[in-house]
Amino acid sequence: MFVPFLTRLLPNFATSKIRHMKYLVCISKAPDTTTKITFTDNNTKFAESGVQFIVNPYDEWYALVRAIELKEKNGGTVTTITVGGAENDPIIRKALAIGADNAVRIDAPATDAYFVASQISKYATENGFDVVLTGKETIDYNGSQMGGMIATLAEYPFVSLATKLEFEGSKAIIEKDVQGGVEIVEVNTPFVLSAAKGMAEQRIPNMRGIMQARTKPLTVVAATDCDNLTEVVDYELPAAKGDVKLVDPNNPEELIELLRNEAKAI
Amino acid sequence: MSVLVFTDSLNKEITKSSFEAVVYGAKVASDIGTSCIAVSYGDVTESSLSALGKYGALKVLHDTSIASGDIQNLHLLVKQACEKESSKVVVFGLDFTGKSVAPMAAAALKAGYISGAIDYPSSYQPITVKKNVFSGKAFANVQINTPVGVVAVLPNSVKITTTDASASIELFKATLPGSKIKTLETKLKGGEGVTLTEAEIVVSAGRGMKGPENWGDVEELAILLGAATACSRPVADIGWRPHHEHVGQTGVAIRPNLYIAIGISGAIQHLAGVNGSKIIVVINKDPEAPFFKAADYGIVGDAFDVLPKLVEAVRKLKAA
Ligand SMILES: Cc1cc2nc3c(=O)[nH]c(=O)nc-3n(C[C@H](O)[C@H](O)[C@H](O)COP(=O)(O)OP(=O)(O)OC[C@H]3O[C@@H](n4cnc5c(N)ncnc54)[C@H](O)[C@@H]3O)c2cc1C
Ligand SMILES: Nc1ncnc2c1ncn2[C@@H]1O[C@H](COP(=O)(O)O)[C@@H](O)[C@H]1O
* pTM, rounded to two decimals: 0.93
Tell me the β-bridge partners of A45. A40
Q: Which SS3 state, helix, strand or coil, does residue A99 take? A: coil
Class of the CATH domain delimited by A3-222: alpha beta
Q: Which pLDDT score is estimated for A13?
A: 45
| Closest CB from A232, A235, A249 relative to B299 | A249
Q: In the predicted model, is pLDDT for residue A15 greater than 90?
A: no
CA distance B56 to chain A (A): 23
Q: Do B181 and A178 touch (CB under 8 A)?
A: no
From the list A43, A239, A245, the residue with the least C-alpha distance to B137 is A239
> B133 and A153 in contact by Cβ < 8 A?
no
Segments making up each domain of chain A, as ranges? 3-222
CATH (residue range B196-319): 3.40.50.1220
SS (H, E, C) chain B: CEEEEECCEECCEECHHHHHHHHHHHHHHHHCCCCEEEEEECCCCHHHHHCHHHHCCCEEEEECCCCCCCCCCHHHHHHHHHHHCCEEEEEEECCHHHHHHHHHHHHHHCCEEEEEECCCCCEECCEEEEEEEHHHCEEEEEEECCCCEEEEECCCCCCCCCCCCCCEEEECCCCCCCCCEEEEEEEECCCCCCCHHHCCEEEEECHHHCCHHHCHHHHHHHHHHCCEEEECHHHHHCCCCCHHHEECCCCECCCCCEEEEECCCCCHHHHHHHCCCCEEEEEECCCCCHHHHHCCEEEECCHHHHHHHHHHHHHHHHHC
User: B132 at the A interface (CB within 8 A)?
Assistant: yes
Each residue of A202-261: pLDDT tens digit?
899 999 999 999 999 999 999 999 999 999 999 999 888 889 999 999 999 999 999 999
- In this complex, do A139 and B95 lie within 8 Å of one another by their Cβ atoms? no
Give dist(CA B70, CA B42) in Å, integer: 8
Is the pLDDT assigned to residue B93 strictly greater than 90?
yes
List of chain B residues whose C-beta atoms are within 8 Å of the C-beta of residue A179: 8, 10, 15, 95-97
Mean pLDDT of B74-103: 97
**Cβ count near A38 (within 10 Å):** 16
Residue A188 in this model has a pLDDT that exceeds 60: yes
CA of B248 to the centre of ligand 2 (A): 19
The ipTM (two decimal places) reads 0.93
CB A62 within 8 A of CB A196: yes
How many Å lie between the alpha carbon of B48 and the closest alpha carbon of chain A?
18
What distance in angstroms lies between residue B210's CA and the mean position of ligand 1's atoms?
12
Query: What does the pLDDT look like over A82-118, one tens digit per residue?
Result: 999 999 999 999 999 999 999 999 999 998 999 999 9
Using CA atoms, how far residue B203 sits from A160, B206, B302, in Å, is 28, 11, 16
B189 touches chain A (CB under 8 A): yes
Q: Give me the pLDDT at residue B81, please.
A: 98
Convert the pLDDT of each residue in B193-228 to its tens digit.
678 988 999 999 999 999 999 999 999 999 999 999
Using only C-alpha atoms, chain A has a radius of gyration, in whole angstroms, of: 23
C-alpha closest to that of B181 among A172, A166, A179, A162? A172
Q: What is the pLDDT of residue A17?
A: 55
Distance between CA atoms of A98 and A65, rounded to whole angstroms?
8
The overall average pLDDT reported for chain B is 96
Q: How many CB pairs under 8 A join A and B?
A: 259
Interface test with B, best of A111, A122, A142, A227 (most B CBs within 10 A): A142
CATH number of B2-171: 3.40.50.620
Neighbours of B221 (CB within 10 A): 23
